[in-house]
């Protein structure tokens, strides 16, 4: 069986051409436009670096929440329990259920500010609303390509060469407080990235060959 090397001049009978071999290995054999798992892995990593860090639990601080807002109240207190924010006070009042009903009920308003554990991860521009207003939130995580599993034979169409690549990745650099079970249970996206350490994400995407190498289709204009 004759196994040909991907790079020429690597056979021992060409050893006398070592200077030329070194030049070849450092140029032609590391061509970023060639088809290889290594090149697709680098291209996938470049794309993932544009997707992370991701932001969670959008809220403006200092802030407040009424206990009638059950979902947000649960999030704020879970964040306070892990030190990401801290409660600074509360105010109790009575409110009518509606103007047409005389019955009243107690409402407690809790006040919060940023905590020491959350400070390194908090930004005031975590999410932008449709009106253009920014909301604060906690942003963290770095995606890391674990493995390129497969890729299709590149196909050229209308001057563009494409290949469909299947790869897996995990997310690191998650603060310990964000891994607390009570907090993870409140956000499905957070649950998935925390789990990716043991159960990496698997993704299939189209990559495009450019003059400088392969690139995720999402980065090609």
Q: Per-residue pLDDT tens for 40-93? A: 999 999 999 999 999 999 999 999 999 999 999 999 999 999 999 999 998 888
Residue 153: φ, ψ to 5°: -65, 125
CA distances from 141 to 2, 14, 110, 155, 205 (A): 46, 48, 29, 34, 21
DSSP 207: E
For the segment 22-34, the average pLDDT, to the nearest whole number, is 61
For residue 209, what pLDDT is reported?
97
Of 15-29, 87-101, 119-133, the one with minimum mean pLDDT is: 15-29
CA triple 179-54-45, angle to 5 deg: 105
CA distances from 163 to 37, 70, 72, 83, 216 (A): 12, 47, 43, 46, 10
Residue 163 in this model has a pLDDT that exceeds 90:
yes
CB of 201 closer than 8 Å to CB of 192: yes
pLDDT tier at 29, thresholds 50, 70, 90: low
CA distances from 29 to 8, 9, 69, 157, 210 (A): 9, 11, 60, 26, 17
| Average pLDDT value for the chain | 87
For residue 97, what pLDDT is reported?
61
Tell me how far apart the alpha carbons of residues 117 and 176 are, in angstroms, rounded to a whole number: 9
Tell me how far apart the alpha carbons of residues 202 and 187 are, in angstroms, rounded to a whole number: 20
For residue 98, what pLDDT is reported?
66
For the segment 175-200, the average pLDDT, to the nearest whole number, is 97
Tell me how far apart the alpha carbons of residues 164 and 118 are, in angstroms, rounded to a whole number: 39
Tell me how far apart the alpha carbons of residues 221 and 213 are, in angstroms, rounded to a whole number: 14
Using a cut of 0.75, tell me whether the model's pTM lies above it. yes
What H or E segment, with its residue span, contains residue 100? none
% of the chain at pLDDT higher than 90: 76
Domain extents in the chain: 34-53+141-219, 56-139
């Amino acid at each position: 069986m004759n196994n040909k090397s991907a790079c020429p001049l690597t056979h021992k009978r060409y050893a006398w051409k070592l200077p030329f071999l070194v030049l070849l290995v450092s140029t032609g054999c590391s061509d970023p436009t060639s088809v290889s798992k290594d090149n697709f892995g680098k291209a996938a990593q470049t794309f993932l670096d544009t997707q992370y860090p991701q932001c969670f639990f959008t809220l403006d601080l200092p802030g407040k929440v009424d206990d009638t807002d059950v979902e947000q109240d649960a999030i704020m207190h879970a964040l306070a329990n892990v030190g990401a924010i801290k409660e600074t006070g509360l105010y109790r009042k009575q409110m009518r259920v509606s103007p047409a009903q005389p019955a009243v009920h107690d409402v407690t308003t809790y006040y919060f500010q940023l905590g020491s554990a959350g400070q390194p991860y908090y930004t005031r521009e975590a999410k932008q609303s449709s009106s253009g207003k920014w909301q604060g939130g906690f942003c963290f995580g770095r995606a890391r390509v674990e493995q390129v599993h497969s890729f299709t034979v590149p196909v050229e169409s209308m001057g563009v060469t494409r290949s469909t690549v299947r790869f897996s990745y995990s997310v690191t650099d998650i603060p310990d407080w964000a891994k607390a079970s009570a907090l993870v249970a409140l956000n499905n996206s957070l649950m998935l990235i925390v789990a990716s350490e043991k159960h990496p994400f698997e993704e299939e995407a189209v990559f495009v060959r450019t003059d400088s190498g392969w690139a995720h289709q999402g980065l090609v204009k």
